[in-house]
Amino acid sequence: MAELVALKVRIGLHDQGCAKYPEFGSLPIIKESGADWANWVDAHGSGWLYSKCGHKDHEEDSPCGEQWGLLLVPAEFAEQAVAADPDCCSIIPDAEASEFYECKCCRDMPEVRHDPDTLNALSAEINLLTLLRETTTGDAQAKHAALLEAAVERAKLAVDPDHAAPGIKKNSDKCWDTFKAKRGFAVK
């Protein structure tokens, strides 16, 4: 498991209107690597996790023209970034990173994810089997009734967000702890 630190970064705007990141390219760790800093943070950490309050929006802690971002990066990168630009960069504890992620980055994410192909297929199967059960007799009707019962059971599992069956599932990316666990990150 990669042990990283949470680096909160204030991102401004250039006069042309594009994002003005801190000068991460001048950090010794980046210069030594010979890599572009944007590619380096993706390869060695989480990549950017942005607040949903963008440059054109305004919130109490994020005026127009600024946006907050979070990076999970190796401690050496984070320490160099804070030393180079303490006005824009700060190392924050895991609890604060969790609050930022869940309340700023993921606040608009749905609690559950839907697999419409699976749900539509199950619905169609149940509708067809119901029709067949009602329009047949004897052994055929019994066969369709049994198939319908099995399809209804699969549908019950599909709409249970806690079950592994495809359909409706909890959005594991909305929760900080599951986000980190899925990616193999631990935050100091």
- Give the model confidence (pLDDT) of 9-42 as tens digits: 999 887 787 888 999 999 999 999 999 999 999 9
51-60, 61-70, 165-174 — which is least confidently predicted? 51-60
Q: At what angle do helices 116-135 and 138-158 cross, to 10 degrees?
A: 160
In the chain, where are the structural domains located? 2-109+172-187, 112-170
Q: Give the distance between the most distant pair of CA atoms in the chain.
A: 81
Whole-number pLDDT of residue 152: 97
pLDDT band with cut points at 50, 70 and 90 for residue 116: very high
- Selection from 93, 102, 100, 82 nearest residue 187 by Cα: 93
pLDDT band with cut points at 50, 70 and 90 for residue 55: very low
Between 7 and 104, residue with greater pLDDT: 7
Q: What percent of the chain has pLDDT over 70?
A: 93
Extended strands (E) in the chain: 2-13, 19-20, 49-50, 67-73, 89-92, 112-114, 168-170, 185-187
DSSP 25: G
Between 124 and 64, residue with greater pLDDT: 124
Say if CB 90 and CB 139 are below 8 A apart: no
Say if CB 22 and CB 88 are below 8 A apart: yes
Whole-number pLDDT of residue 16: 80
Whole-number pLDDT of residue 188: 85
Average pLDDT, the chain: 90
pLDDT at 2 over 80: yes
DSSP 62: B
13-27, 77-91, 138-152, 154-168 — which is least confidently predicted? 13-27
pLDDT band with cut points at 50, 70 and 90 for residue 51: confident
Whole-number pLDDT of residue 150: 96
Rounded to the nearest 5 degrees, what angle is found at the Cα of 83, between the Cα atoms of 87 and 32? 130
Q: What residues are paired with 8 via a beta bridge?
A: 70, 90
Q: Which phi and psi angles does 27 have, rounded to 5°? A: -70, 140
Q: Cα 57 from chain centroid? A: 21
Interval 159-186: pLDDT, tens: 999 999 999 998 888 889 999 998 999 9
Extended strands (E) in 34-174: 49-50, 67-73, 89-92, 112-114, 168-170
